[in-house]
Amino acid sequence: MNHFSDELAAKRQQLLSLISGYRSCAVAFSGGVDSTVVAKAAQLALGDAAIAVTGVSGSLAEGELQQAVALAEEIGIRHQQLETDELANPAYAANAPDRCFHCKTELYTQLAGLAERLGVAAIASGTNADDLGDYRPGLAAAANHGVRAPLAECGITKADVRALAADWKLPVADKPASPCLSSRVAYGQAVTPERLRMIDCAEQIVRSLGISVCRVRYHAGDVARVEVPTTSIPTLMEPATMAMLEDEFSRLGFQSVVVDPAGYRSGSLNESLAVH
């Protein structure tokens, strides 16, 4: 079981050395595998000079905050919650393709203020080397605020991140990606607290069927497009199950439900963008 190569061991040492050089650090901590690995590395490298900070708003899915709190406790890193209010920004609510820029600007502005109050020298994100090739407006916001990306700086890919998490016995090593709820709203459709609640509740209903990976995408006219792995599509298409979904989603405020025959794809709403 030698999945942990010499190359990865060298990257791990490089990561710890890099973060040690920060002297003190606030990690933007969502509880996903990337930011959890950064938080663990920060705790190992800096001890009490590291703190994990979780932004809390209406775009955070049910259960994610509780998981982040438990993870921080398990890692042994100090943890603080930070209320963010990106939904109050009309540029964010308008939901253009640069939505993430406005969200991350709000987060990093708040985080910079907190870091200053705490006397913390650096802010670190969970951006990994693979993220740099994707369409991610949030990276521009990070650059504007001088946020460090230790994983990317060390050439650590998503596969490396999961291997490090497994080596450190972190329970999120195999956790599916869980971006904010706003990422489920089709571009051009306003992001509202009500729509985010509809999406969150709808995804909980799908997960209650034993399908852990799912996205409920919100489209114009209160249409729910459900993405699950192709192997799980037959489960949803059972007539009784489909009738239940239509009934439950209708209660939430959706007008219709469509199961996407192409199955789950990360970031599928970006497929219509010219820039990738």
pLDDT digit string, tens, across residues 82-93 = 999 999 999 999
Distances (CA, A) of 76 to 49, 111, 234: 12, 20, 42
| Rounded distance between C-alpha atoms, residue 236 and residue 206, angstroms | 8
Which two structure tokens, joined as six digits, stand for 80? 């603080």
Residues of the chain with CATH 3.40.50.620: 6-167
Contact call for residues 139 and 127 (beta carbons, < 8 A): yes
Supply the CATH classification number for the domain 181-272: 3.30.70.2210
Read off the pLDDT band of 273 (50, 70, 90). low
Rounded distance between C-alpha atoms, residue 205 and residue 191, angstroms = 21
pLDDT-derived band at 4 (thresholds 50, 70, 90) equals confident
The two three-digit tokens of residue 261, written as one number: 């025959």
Topology of the domain comprising 6-167: Rossmann fold (3.40.50)
Encoding tokens for residue 147?
């946020």
Inter-axis angle of helices 239-252 and 193-207, nearest 10: 160
pLDDT at 172 exceeding the cut of 80: yes
Quick one: what percent of the chain has pLDDT higher than 70? 97
**DSSP β-bridge partners for residue 28:** 53
- pLDDT tops 90 at residue 266: no
Give the strand order in the sheet containing 215-219: 215-219, 223-227, 256-259
Residue 23 has pLDDT above 70, yes or no: yes
**What mean pLDDT value characterizes the chain?**
94
What confidence tier does 55 reach under pLDDT thresholds 50, 70, 90?
A: very high
Buried residues in 1-10 as b, exposed as e (16+ CB within 10 A): eeeeeeebee
Distance CA 241, CA 201 (A): 16
Task: Read off the pLDDT of residues 216-240 as tens digits, 9 standing for 90 and up.
Answer: 999 999 999 999 999 999 999 999 9
Q: Where in the chain is the domain with CATH 3.30.70.2210?
A: 181-272
* pLDDT band for position 182 (cuts 50, 70, 90): very high
